[in-house]
Amino acid sequence: MGRALTLVELRGITKYGEMTTLHMGSKTWIMLNSKRVAGEIISKRGAITNERTRMPMSHEVLSRNSRTLLAPLNRWHEPRRLLSSLMLTGSALQRYGEIQELESNQLMAEYILQPELWFRHNYRYANSVIHRIATGAKSHIENQDLKNLQQVTTVFLDSIGSSIVDWFPLLHSIPRPLQFWRSYWEERAQWTHEVLKAWWDPVREQVENGTANPSFVRDTLLNPESKYQGTDEETMYLGMTLIEAGSDTSRMVLNTLAMAAVHYPEAWAKARQEVDSICDTPAGLRLPLMSDLKRMPYCCAIVKELLRWRPIFPYPPDHTLTQDLDLEGYFFPKGTSMVMNLIAIGDECEDPELFRPERWLNGHEADITHNLWQFGGGRRICVGYRLAQTGIFVNVARFAMCFDYEATGKLNSLDLNHETLEEPFPIRVKPRGTKYKQLILDEAERAGLLDVARNGRTPAGEHNGLE
């Protein structure tokens, strides 16, 4: 819905009840303002609420009909099946956890060696994790290419619903010479394609010349024996959308973590105490691991609270009805769009404006989707939610153990400035003490990542280190 509703308006419409009807353009939207109705409609009736409304500009033109986030059902099922097999199996998640730990080793060292670029390190970490998973190789992309990919994501997200044509799709059917707005979107579509292609071509070439490591791209997308029948364009967008989405959302949450650590030092102290009790004992000092997740409920609660307190998306894409729905005396005709109001849903708690991880200490801390809707819901739930959880968790625990944050200027916790390519807000990150600094450097050295962290990029050709 683009920028159609502000955060204030998203909170304000709850005065009309658990559901609010909005007539916007030629479309009817039902804002779902509570967990209860979101569960009833999105989860329990997922079989009829998994379509997307048509977005001619943001999906058909800008994304060339190839981004799965906005894809209609007939173009969504096959990519979703492939991504689910990649992301949701237990063996895959264990393997990816090892990748996340390795990349986190480098991230910690980068924070020591170049603390002023903490925000850039967050993006590099998130990008390199998903790049390894998708391509089998550690990213060796230059900083400008990283910035370009981040900007591609920002342009796409800002595009959703920002064109009048997305609100009145029939305008897309008028003769092309009369579509005076189209050149604007086609220029951005071409630039997006060029940025994605600059990332994709080296990967494709490695597959073609037989030097690629085992990966989703090599063994599924570009494998001639695979059942996947997408065009070259669709294949590139599927592979790159995985990298694009996996890079940016984790970056934003890690940036939010820095803001929360400055504003709520008492929560940071509790997380540190929990981690120390397990990882800094007379038996020895070590960095937290993925295997510690269920032993660190407070750190898990911080992950959930970060997503609730400052959700990455105020509302995810709509869920459009594929048939009529009768619910509790209300009739919703086929084609009605259901939209989860994540601001209102996140406010369904005591003192919602406060960052309070304790609200999640209910025995379900390690279940990232329990009572939390920030990854969407129903059949369209984000396929990478488990990967996101583990990647955020391991860094929450490690940052809590090893680093202190302090403000170096005026901060506004409502202004996270996620779209910027530079420092989003003024903070300083410094190691907690000498022994923690040395622990980080020793771990990076042991993993062969210290020189990489020091030089700011990965040598070309280095693979993921996990045979």
Q: Is the dihedral of CA 141, 146, 147, 152 positive or negative?
A: positive
Residue whose structure tokens are 């940025």: 195
Instruction: Give me the phi and psi of 365, to 5 degrees please.
Output: -60, -35
> How many angstroms separate the CA atoms of 247 and 244, rounded?
5
> How many angstroms separate the CA atoms of 153 and 283, rounded?
45
- Which two tokens mark 175? 């003769």
- Which two tokens mark 212? 């690629």
Bridge-based pairing state of the strands 27-32 and 337-340: parallel
Residue type for position 283: A
Residue 463 DSSP class? B
382 annotated ligand-binding residue:
yes
Instruction: Give me the phi and psi of 333, to 5 degrees please.
Output: -75, 160
Q: How far is CA 42 from CA 46, 233, 460, in A?
A: 5, 31, 44
Among the residues of 141-231, which ranges form H helices?
143-159, 164-167, 182-208, 216
Nearest to 127 by CA among 108, 149, 106, 144: 149
Residue whose structure tokens are 């409609």: 41
Nearest to 158 by CA among 383, 269, 3, 318: 3
What is the CB-side half-sphere exposure of residue 186 using CA atoms within 13 A? 6
Query: Would you list which residues are annotated within the binding site for heme?
Result: 382
Feature table: binding site: 382
